Structures are given as structure tokens and as C-alpha cells.
Amino acid sequence: MQESTSLFGTSIQLFALMTPPAVLSAFISATADYTTQEKRRTACKTSLAAFLIGLVLYLFGAHIFSLFGFTLDAFRIGAGVLLFLSAVSLMQDDGDSKKHRPEGDISVVPLAIPLCMGPASIGMVMVMGASANTFEETVRGALSLLIAALGVFSLLWMADSVGKILRRTGLAVMAKLTGLLLAAIAAQQIFTGIHSFIG
């Protein structure tokens, strides 16, 4: 029961870290002229790219720590600060999706990187990977990442319907709620890093 709760909680955190309001807003704007099939293909490629990038960082984050001489606690604090900045950015989001529409394939850049897997989410994933001490914990973290990526896929798959329901005001409200959640996660990350460093 505790493991399933941990899996669910971690999945929710990772999904929030992928800033779904920002991804949804950018997706709606950039795919306005796409056919339904093109939108679904883009949604699939975006979520798959985010999962694969996150999985590589999750599995090999500890080796990156060793290579550059980082400590886990220092990275926790740094990731927490970046996450807090992302939260502030979301709190300032007014839900306006009328931005410059990039040309070419948008699934990897900018949707997967840096929107889904930005500095904050990358930091969180690397900390999770370095903190996993057993095979079961490693598998549970990978499953959490997969569930979060599937959540992004589902959101983008239903982007047209969600956009019509939420409209600009709804997207802005969702962005602010996500920002509050990210701020809480950031505070916990920073507190854990400082506590472990002092202790």
C-alpha cells in the first residue's frame, strides 16, 4: 500500500514538474493549423521524447554526479531553486497562447525540451535516480516517470477539447495552481538538501 502511494505521489510530482499548463498552451498555439492526425502524432512524439530523455537522466544521473564532483545535497538545493523559479514563472502566466509558432517538428523542441523536461524537472529526475538505492526503487521511479509522460500524452491528445473547456482564463488558473504545487515541491527539495548538508 505504501509503495503504491509512493508511486502515485511521485508520478503526480513529476507530472507537475512537466508544467502541463505551459505545454498545453504551447501545443494549442503551435498546432492550430495541424490536422487531427498531425496533432496526435505530435502528442505521441512529445511524450515519448520526454520519457526517454528523463529515463536516461534518471538512470545515469549518479554517474554525472561523480563525473563533475557534485554532491546529491548540493544538487537538491540547486534543483529546488530552479524549480522555484519555474513556479514563479507559472504564477505569472496569464494563459495567453498567442505566441510565435515555430516551424518544423515541435515535438522534441520546444515541447519535450525545455517545456516538459526543463532545468527543474531534469534536476528532480537526476536527484531521484541518485537517491534510488535498490532495484525496486529504481523500477518504481522509472514507472513514475512513465506514468507522468502518459499524463502529458493524454493531456495533449485531448488538447482541443481541453482548450475549448478551459479557454484562456482556465489555462491561467491551471498554471497558477501548478505553480503553487511546484513551489511546495521546491521548498521541500531545498529544505531536504540543507538539512542533510548541515546534519
The domain limits of the chain are: 15-29+43-94+111-198
User: How far, in Å, CA of 25 to CA of 186, rounded?
Assistant: 23
Neighbouring CB atoms inside 10 A of 60's CB total 14
The model's pLDDT over 174-197, given as tens digits with 9 standing for 90+, comes to 778 777 877 887 888 788 888 887
Is the model more confident about 114 or about 117?
Answer: 117
Neighbouring CB atoms inside 10 A of 92's CB total 11
Q: Closest Cα partner for 77 from 120, 138, 16?
A: 120
Contact 53, 125 (CB under 8 A): no
What pLDDT does residue 95 have?
Answer: 56
What pLDDT does residue 97 have?
Answer: 47
pTM for this predicted structure: 0.75
